[in-house]
Chains A and B, each alone.
Chain A
């Protein structure tokens, strides 16, 4: 006679066997790394990862329990059902024209520009600035090296933080929102101190980062002998992510 208890036990054995098969036999490359990695797993009550047809692609999530980026010094988790395994870099110049107006040897001319960076599934990014200091023909305004603004001498510099000199306020600290990890390089990170070096790295993030909005504060000083005319500079910002 087979009791009900024996039947249940047999059923459990069958289920356990299937479970073992699934766990040990099916390749699970989403969970791998030297130490550990969870890639494209959804912890939520619903998920439609990368629904697509020939003409559209959608990343959808339903009732996520938690979304966003959690990180400490040694680990980082991108949570939510809309995470993507592919690299993503979004770079936006939010304010591209910085006008100093009419220059004077008795006041400091200032201007600001701003940009934002998002970099995803990366080992971080760096932002580099390329271009010369403002020039007028052959005359170029000398660049500053971590120094304060001083009227009456020729100076051109910038930083990416909030300042109180030569204007209060001038510029802003980086806005990392909830999930940004952007930081400013040392030469450009001290309030009221300005630098400029063509090709230098001005900002970076050590890991995958949500949107960070940076504000560049420029200062320009001239002397009374600074040749008259239009002073121009075209600067390119280049963001390089490592994946």
Chain B
């Protein structure tokens, strides 16, 4: 009896070994589809939105390699909250995702594709052409515009959401039947980083009898009192002169303009005529005028040009050309008129510069005696 048991065991062993050898000889078929490899999704900026913006209208670019085997008739791109089905759970589309407006803008590798969109997926089909034979590994890339990214909310953590795109290659033209090759890619929306800073609007403007430089930069803190007396008593045979200074700088994009405002020299009801048109200083005439440049009066230098000299880049101040205040030994005074601006080369911001204003007064021999005074107001207006 025991002898039969041993024989039976040996026969069983022999059968099992034989079965092992035979089964090894039979080629084994994988039950699962082959994996698409070297695959990725790049979220690309749309016309207005960054590529990873939650709810942004953007482009999705897919790069992947389809392994050899079979023929490709269509490729499905299915957006899901999970990489694969687990148990009874199937693909749940990400909230807010919309692929209805998807359009194929670039195709390489397997071309001749037409995009067929639906709400949360789309597929590319070779129809009406034929299938593409996957004789070897085939690297492809497709850029899809008009995709609305998933959107779970407007603030974190809802703006940072992972989502998956399941890519499946089918032999059929309409993604029917079993998939031939598959792969999943992952991506994530992200909160945009908002950078923010404030550059204060700036205007530094001052007037005084004199303004000095500090470390080669005009320094309004050094401006002296604005009460200015002419260099001599008025006389019909010589010209009285005086100077004052003003400094200006601004970061206004369109620069500044300076106006002079006030009456002419007055003593009670007597006045010295303001020079309505630009002209030279003439002894014995009733003249009150000014300019913003260096002059020579009665053989004496007086006044000065703008300092530092304008260069058209960071130093743009000047006496407005052809204004009548910009020519040496020529003077003018019209209340309310623009006399200077930061328009050297182009109106724009400028670093500080000092203007020297030269005043002249000529009087007639019959001018009544008295103390002739005026108060001038300079207004610097930046244009931001």
B384 in contact (CB, < 8 A): yes
Q: Which residues of A contact B249 (CB under 8 A)?
A: 224
Q: Is A169 part of the binding interface, using a Cβ–Cβ cutoff of 8 Å?
A: no
Whether B72 sits at the interface, judged by CB under 8 Å, is no
B375 vs chain A, min Cβ distance (A): 31
Indicate the size class of the contact surface on chain A: 35 or more
Q: Would B251 and A225 count as touching, CB distance under 8 A?
A: yes
User: Are B52 and A237 touching (Cβ within 8 A)?
Assistant: yes
A137 to B199, CA, bound (A): 13
Residues of chain B contacted by A6 (CB below 8 angstroms): 6
B349 within 8 A of A: yes
Residue from A52, A111, A228, A241 within 8 A of B89 (CB atoms): A52
- Contact in complex: A224, B351 (CB < 8 Å): yes
Interface of B: prevailing SS:
mixed
By a CB distance below 8 angstroms, the chain A residues around B188 are 89-91, 239
A130 within 8 A of B: yes
CA distance A93 to B164 in the complex (A): 19
Instruction: Tell me whether A93 and B191 are in contact (CB under 8 A).
Output: yes
Cross-chain contact of A52 among B2, B86, B384 (Cβ < 8 A)? B86
Residues of B near A54 (CB, < 8 A) are 87-89
Query: Which residues on B sit within 8 Å (CB–CB) of A231?
Result: 195-199
Determine if B201 and A228 form an interchain contact, defined as CB atoms under 8 angstroms apart: yes
A170 within 8 A of B: no
Interface 9-residue window, one of A9-17, A65-73, A172-180: A9-17
Q: Is the beta-carbon distance between B10 and A10 smaller than 8 angstroms? A: yes
Q: Evaluate contact between A227 and B253: CB separation under 8 angstroms.
A: yes
A52 CA to B82 CA, complexed, in Å: 13
Q: A11 to B9: give the CA distance in the assembly, Å.
A: 8
Q: Is B237 an interface residue (CB 8 A)?
A: no
Question: B45-77 vs A: 1/0 string, CB under 8 Å?
Answer: 100011111000000000000000000000000
**Contact, CB under 8 Å: B198 / A96:** no
A93 touches B16 (CB 8 A): no
Residue A106 lies at the interface, judged by CB distance under 8 Å to chain B: no
Q: Which of B154-162, B205-213, B272-280 sits within the interface?
A: B154-162
Contact in complex: A91, B160 (CB < 8 Å):
yes
**Contact yes or no, B164 A227, CB < 8 A:** no
Q: Which residues of A contact B38 (CB under 8 A)?
A: 123, 242-243
B83 at the interface (CB under 8 A from A): yes
Whether B41 and A240, one on each chain, are in contact in the complex, defined by CB atoms closer than 8 angstroms, is: yes
Contact A228 B200 (CB under 8 A): yes
Count of residues in B whose CB is under 8 Å from the partner chain: 74
- Asked if A241 and B40 sit within 8 Å, CB to CB, the answer is yes
**Which A residues lie within 8 Å of B159 (CB)?**
93
Measured CB to CB, the closest approach of chain A to B141, in angstroms, equals: 12
Interface residue? B292 (CB, 8 A)? no
B17 close to A (CB within 8 Å) = yes
Given contacts A2-B3, A86-B83, A237-B52, contact A93 B40 (CB under 8 A): no
A102 touches B195 (CB 8 A): no
Task: Give chain A interface residues in 87-108, CB to chain B under 8 Å.
Answer: 87-93, 96-103
* B309 CB contacts on chain A under 8 angstroms: none
Enumerate B182-228 residues with CB–CB distance to A below 8 Å. Answer: 183-202
Contacts of A222 in B (CB 8 A): 199
Residues in A whose Cβ lies below 8 Å from that of B183 = 243
Contact call A53/B2, Cβ cutoff below 8 A: no
Nearest A residue to B199 via CB reads A103
Q: Cβ of A63 < 8 Å from any Cβ of B?
A: no
With A86-B184, A96-B192 known as contacts, the answer to whether A228 contacts B384 (CB < 8 A) is yes
Whether the Cβ atoms of B196 and A97 lie closer than 8 Å is yes
* Cβ contact within 8 Å between A89 and B199: no
Q: Is the CB of B185 within 8 A of A241?
A: yes
The CA-CA distance from A14 to B16 in the complex, in Å, is 8
Least CB distance, A92 to chain B, in whole angstroms: 5
Residues of A with C-beta under 8 A to B20: 17, 20-21, 24-25
Closest A-B pairs by Cβ, 4 of them: A236-B50, A100-B197, A228-B201, A86-B83
Q: Name B's A-contacting residues (CB within 8 A).
A: 2-3, 5-6, 9-10, 12-13, 16-17, 19-20, 23-24, 28, 30, 32, 37-45, 49-53, 82-84, 86-89, 156-157, 159-160, 162, 164, 183-202, 249, 251-253, 314, 348-351, 384
Task: Enumerate 6 A-B pairs (CB-CB under 8 Å) in ascending A order.
Answer: A54-B87, A91-B188, A100-B198, A226-B251, A231-B199, A232-B195
